[in-house]
Amino acid sequence: MPAKKPVSPRKPSRPAARPEKAEGLGAAAGRAGALALLAGARIVAARPVLFGSLALFSTLAGVVADNALNRQTGRHPHPMLMTRGAEPSRLASARLSSPAEAAPVPTARHAATPPVPSNDPRIVPFPMVHEAQQLLAQQGYYRAEIDGRAGQATDMAIRDFQAAKGLKVDGMATPLLLSQLRQAANPPPPLGDDPIARLASGGGVDPASTGGIASAGGSELVRQIQARLAEARVADLKPDGILGERTRAAIRTFQALESLDVTGEPSEEVLARLGDSGASAMR
């Protein structure tokens, strides 16, 4: 008899899932999803401002990114993602795309000119300061507006003048400074033409050549003014009736102290004021 082929045992088949169990798993998943949504809704409801801000920020960021990456018709001059590796020529063309960026950046060599100093407009103008400013401007020391006011511009100009002439640097507008400015603007004549030098050497002096007015009695007026200026200790003058630069400077100093018009010329008003000053000093 032929041998029988061995029959392999059959594996037991897995029982099919029951419909009732599959339906139970789906219901459980649905309940879990509903619970998760409910918990999320409670969290959002507890912090509405925070989550509303996050939502608004996300929306705006998405709109900006979409506009920059997808909705530009040409190459954007400042792409968001280009930070390195770009060619210098492209970067230069991108920088020169707008007129504002095309202007050169000022360097130390091309720095702006510093502003010219000015005076304080709250200070009352003074005639002596006005004349000092004019003389300083004539000699190239004062460059601001001639307004007769003291301030930074006047102070700097006076200091420059005093430093250039080897004088005491204080920046103050005084009668002495005014005399120095006038002397610098009108330097004295050479020694050979100086009438005072000729007088010291024994030569005669014509009063008209020194500024005196002997023919009209002005020499006596100058002599009286010189004597009273010396008595008032305004200046150390010799009453000789000669109207020289020292006499004019002393008259200007007295006029400035008495708030008169600073002219340096002898007059009856100066003589009368000197008499009043001497009488008040004796009291």
Residue 238 is assigned to a structural domain of this protein: yes
Domain of 136, CATH number, reads 1.10.101.10
**pLDDT of 220 over the 80 cut:** yes
- Contact between 173 and 132 under an 8 Å Cβ cutoff? The reply is yes
Confidence of residue 118 (pLDDT cuts 50, 70, 90): confident
Q: Is there a domain that residue 122 lies in?
A: no
Q: Supply 150's token pair.
A: 């003291």
Would you say residue 93 has pLDDT above 80? no
Pair (173, 234) in one structural domain: no
User: Is 75 inside any structural domain?
Assistant: no
155-157-159-165 Cα dihedral, nearest 10 degrees? -150
Give domain status of residue 16, yes or no: no
Is the predicted pLDDT of residue 180 greater than 80, yes or no? yes
Q: Considering the domain boundaries, does residue 233 fall inside one?
A: yes
Same domain, 216 and 278: yes
Residue 249 falls within a domain, yes or no? yes
In terms of residue numbers, what domain contains 261? 211-282
Put simply, whether the predicted model's pTM sits higher than 0.85 gets the answer no
pLDDT at 142 over 90: yes
- The better pLDDT of the pair 194, 33 is held by 33
Please determine, for residue 174, whether its predicted confidence score (pLDDT) is greater than 60: yes
- What is the band of 89 on the pLDDT scale with cuts at 50, 70, 90? low
- Does residue 267 lie within any of the structural domains? yes
Q: Is the pLDDT of residue 243 over 70?
A: yes
Of 6-10, 116-120, 251-255, the range with the lowest mean pLDDT is: 6-10
How many independent structural domains does the chain possess? 2
Does 88 reside within a domain? no
- Rounded CA-CA distance 173/267 in Å is 24
Res. 203 pLDDT band, cuts 50 70 90: very low
Residue 158 confidence (pLDDT) above 90 = yes
Its sign, for the CA torsion 138, 143, 148, 150, is negative
Domain stop point among 185, 203, 221: 185
> What single letter denotes the amino acid at residue 33?
G
Give the model's pLDDT for residue 178. Answer: 81
Round the average pLDDT of the chain to a whole number and report it. 74
